[in-house]
């Protein structure tokens, strides 16, 4: 599966458009991760726990989007956009949404 942020795939011609596909992941941060990240915030530096959670959520959202495109018969997704949002009363949830247009290229 070709996944690109561009509106076309260089060297390929788009022959079919299947519509917009999405992959959404809502990930919660548990107490231990929140505590560890809080220490990084207090002492300074990067939060490896939050960075890992963000990486996992983004990878899962992209994989889900690719699966949905493949189920439609697409072999590429163009115009991909990834959005991030924090949710919940205490902002303890992270939502990652990947979206793009499923297409078939030759």
DSSP alpha helices (H): ranges in the chain? Answer: 31-43, 48-72
For 20-64, what is each residue's pLDDT tens digit? 999 999 987 654 455 554 545 545 566 677 788 889 999 999 999
Q: What is the pLDDT of residue 31?
A: 46
- Rounded to an integer, what distance in angstroms lies between the CA atom of residue 24 and that of residue 61? 5
Q: Mean pLDDT in the chain?
A: 86
pLDDT of residue 30: 54
């Amino acid at each position: 599966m070709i996944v690109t942020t561009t509106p076309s795939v260089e060297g390929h011609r788009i022959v079919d458009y299947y519509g917009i596909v999405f992959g959404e992941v809502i990930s919660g941060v548990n107490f231990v991760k929140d505590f560890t990240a809080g220490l990084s915030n207090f002492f300074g530096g990067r939060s490896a726990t939050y960075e890992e959670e963000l990486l996992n959520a983004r990878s899962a959202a992209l994989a889900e989007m690719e699966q949905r495109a493949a189920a439609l018969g697409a072999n590429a997704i163009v115009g991909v956009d990834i959005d991030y949002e924090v949710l919940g009363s205490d902002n303890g949830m992270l939502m990652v949404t990947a979206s793009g247009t499923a297409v078939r290229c030759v």
